[in-house]
Structure 1
Amino acid sequence: MKRLLVIALLMISSLSAQIKDVTVSIVPQKYFVEKIAGDKINVNVMVKKGFSPANYEPKTSQMKKLAQSSIYFSIGVPFENSWLKKFKNANKNMLMVDTSMGIEKLEMVEHSHHEDEGHHDEHADHDEHDDHKKHDEHDEHKDHDHEKHDEHDEHADHDEHESSDPHIWNDPILVKIQAKNIYEALVKVDHDNESFYKENYEKFIKELDLLNQKLETILNPYKNKAFMVFHPSWGYFAKKYSLEQVAIESQGKEPKPKELVELIKDAKEHNIKIVFVAPQFSQKSAKLIANSINGSVHVIDPLAKNWEENLIQTAEKIANTYK
């Protein structure tokens, strides 16, 4: 009898200590959650490497795995617009948390954005999405209660969300806000590990401040300089470090011949010699422009797995453009 009691207690203990699953939309979020949760949480990523969060379609296997998640961390990327409600329906007990809560997003801009992108009001950028018109992201969030985040997919204000830029993970200071949202949600579903999460959260905040200082050191000599990218994923980054992002595509479309002429002209005026592309997008227009300015095409990935290292490498690549 005692043996059965011991086995039962061990089973209960094992269940209580079981690692919880959470799901995030994109790879950089996995980095953030793991910084705070460590080995206490298993993080699933919805948009896998090499795919675009603009129009991603989750696989059946991912939907099944979602049923085991305690939390879904959204961030405002376009595919969420049509999927968040489905995610909630797949797991009624899952806490829906918008990690962009508390961040004032920048507006997306069209091809003419190269005029003054680095100087939009606080943190302006130009979206990541092949189909910006479907961008009704859910960042209004007038009710900041995490419990109500599953309602975002109703998109109460489509017009506003269509024009907002979701690339908030490319500014380490904005990531501090996201980290706080993540920390609070983890404590909510796993209060027993609150002290562990708090310690890691505070450590991560210090790391973000140090990263910001390092990026400032790299980029300060190049304030107000422009860099050209195919997809406008780096607007918040440009704003934070007083740079100017010149984007090639608009609304997920390749530029027309007339627009290409203007882009080549802009590149020459800004003395741009490197055109950056993300691995998720075509290099056709980037190569054409690079050839016209006697420049080259380099790859930078806004969705890279090693988030911190990627931001440093991106800063160094931009700085090297002007050395």
Structure 2
Amino acid sequence: MPEKSSVDIRKSARLSVAPMMDWTDRNCRFLHRLLSSESLLYTEMVTAPALVRGGALHLLDYSPEEHPVALQLGGSDPRELAQAARMGAEAGYDEINLNCGCPSDRVQSGTFGAVLMREPARVAECVAAMREVVNVEVTVKCRIGVDEQEPQDVLPAFLEQIKAAGCDRVTIHARKAWLQGLSPKENRDIPPLDYELVHQMKAEFPDLHISINGGITTLAQAQEHLDAGLDGVMIGRAAYHQPTDILAEADPLIFGTGQIADPIDVVQKMLPYVEAHLADGGRMHQITRHMLGLFAGRPGARGWRRMLSDGAVRENAGPEVILQALDSIASNARVEQVV
């Protein structure tokens, strides 16, 4: 079994980057780790059937530098999830997380994701089955409810059952999910946020490690939730689109360690990774697409995005594309200093 990180996963969970399909792949996570040494990173959701029945073990690939890193699983069959969880633990992941929050039609058709908010007993059975076969924490990411459910009633009952099954950490997206009538994108924005309910759950379940997710776009907002008593904050789209704003300052501001990361240094540290990726047959855009937001809100950001977007898709594109874009950032910085 690969050596597992000795990091304190609960400390790392003070700030985490949400699992996001098509975004938080291993290339994205490597970049995010360079920005923050402490924050907890999550894989995209990996379905248990893909691992157990499909043998898609490549979905478990990651770089050792990514620790602490959690594997998010999708599924609803306890035995299958237990097998997938064992595979994840054997691959060295620091945590196994069960998705009970994704509202997409494709996920619903597999009877997992947010639809599982209707079946807390099944979720508890899945948690217990996974807990039995792995020696890392098994956690759950959920919504406050779905469709016509009354969150004030269903969320406490849901938490009670998964806690009894051995889940000690949960991340709550503070919105309902509407399984019919709203797209996954609309489900991230339209249902109103209910932060107060999540804080209420912490008061009712003081022994449960609770992280909050949904609509949080700055570290200042994250710190407010931590100061109010929550154990962790999970940030999604803001961490992806403005990774420097969120992750570069996370270590000193949220964890009290290290220094603010310089995005220029981070880009330079990415170059050996890019070269290794290309040597293995990868393509430039598979990495650079995750780097577009590094200089968001800073001088030269538009040119950086354009040069990476245009250059990375060219045949035989290599690290020089990144270096040229970085030169444009440096030039803008010098102009700003002169002005």
- Which band: TM-score by shorter chain? under 0.3
Give the number of the structure with larger relative contact order, counting CA–CA contacts within 8 Å between residues 6 or more apart. 1
For normalisation by structure 2, the TM-score amounts to 0.26
Larger Cα-atom Rg:
1
For normalisation by structure 1, the TM-score amounts to 0.27
